[in-house]
Chains A and B, each alone.
Chain A
């Protein structure tokens, strides 16, 4: 028996667990802006004359009028104006910090420019997981929470050079990013049917969980943010929490090893994991959200906020990590770097892509 028929039959036997009883007038909003026209007239009765249902299921006992409708079930978490890392470098060694002292500096940069007349805008993606009633979960980026436009408008141009001996002098996690608002919400698909003068709605078991992200903007600029965690193992600090989560749960990139200096950019990621420019970099906001809503953990994998361009254009976007070794050690001291990307692929524009994160795990070593 089809699922729809199952629902209809359950409705008839009234054995369905009723989660919601809605007065018949209130299932759909009335389009009050229109006078006359084809606006559904929800108050007529009997249902055979009603216009505001989607389909009918009839059997020997009569007909059921029904619609499937989405409803916001729960906002797990919604936090405003919090710093989120976009570029991270974890600088460490295997000898208790001695080699870290050979680092001259770590430069992290972020740049986003809109060129709207050329179709280039800065877009903040929605990440969604759809859980079907059979338990199957699919992941997608079903488009954007917000777009930033303008022509040759630079929304974010921020870099910070972290010097060894000044900003850090041992193992450290360095980060830059932006101030943002983040939310994580669950929607449920309901089966709604008419019964006497009411719409009765029951959950179908289908859920959509969504991560929403947007930047804090002031004076037409995204507000930048930076952070240094000088004690990466004390379990305190958002940068440490975010980085460690990603390191433990996301996929590791191929190794990048260079003597003297190393540069990893969003283009490195885009090329290597063959992803869309919109998805090549992201802010892993999971620990931020989980601190507010630990019950969201089953869907936590998706809690990543992509930020990118609506169209590929290298001159309009740069996200970069550059690590350089002091000149006297450059010939024999290497940086072994890896970045991370999502453990699952997300559907976007009909294809499946990994989401990248320019979170660099940089081991300093000596040959």
Chain B
């Protein structure tokens, strides 16, 4: 009887604590802006007081289904070179990108623009995203250029990019 009561108290405490943590997390979560100018792409900038800065890309089809997806990210640097920011895998369509790679790329752009008396808040250099979506019907392609707000990211904003692809025969590569 005593054991049962203790278990219930522990259970209630655990549930209560997780509710409080979630609540605090929600309180600390603040959407700064959403950019939908690129076709089929939503770029959401947000701050999260209790979580480290992160950059993730979610690839899904129009009905919201997700599949194992590989993304290869490239950046066209101010000196003209095209550099690979990395190849990433998201087994459930959610691809976590190394935020330090993104920051390195944006910091170089920031310095370049400021050196030429430009306001970096006005310029949004893009990353080039090439992806392969592994569905039971075959391999679909994703090709996007996604401009990023460098000042928001360099100030610590996290980013969630949602790419909604129409998985049509046009971008089906392999059955």
Chain A residues with a Cβ under 8 A of chain B: 2-4, 7, 27-34, 37-40, 51-52, 54-55, 67-72, 75, 78-80, 114, 119, 121, 123, 126, 128, 130, 132-133, 138, 140, 142-150, 153, 181, 183, 185, 187, 189, 204, 206, 208, 210, 212, 214, 217-220, 310-311, 347-350
Contact = CB atoms under 8 A, between A and B. Distances in A.
Given A34-B52, A144-B145, 4 more contacts: A33-B52, A34-B96, A208-B143, A220-B118
B70 A54 contact: yes
A130 B174 contact: no
A218 B118 contact: yes
A39 B96 contact: yes
Contact of A4 (B85, B118, B119, B139): B139
B3 to A, nearest CB: 33
A54 B68 contact: yes
A150 B151 CA distance: 13
B97 A31 contact: yes
A30 B91 CA distance: 14
Contacts of B162: none
Contact of A185 (B79, B82, B89, B99): B82
A220 B170 CA distance: 40
Contacts of B145: 126, 142-145
Interface of B: 37-41, 52-54, 68-70, 72, 74, 76, 79-82, 84-89, 91, 96-101, 113, 116-119, 121-126, 128, 130-132, 134, 138-139, 141, 143-147, 166, 170, 173-175
Q: Which 6 A-B pairs have CB atoms at the shortest separation, nearest pair first?
A: A29-B86, A70-B130, A68-B132, A3-B174, A54-B68, A70-B72
B90 to A, nearest CB: 9
Given A55-B134, A185-B82, A148 B122 contact: yes
Main secondary structure of the interface of B (DSSP, over half): strand
A28 B70 contact: yes
Contacts of A187: 72, 130
B130 to A, nearest CB: 4
Contacts of A145: 76, 125-126, 128, 145, 147
A71 B70 CA distance: 11
Contact of A220 (B86, B88, B119, B132): B119
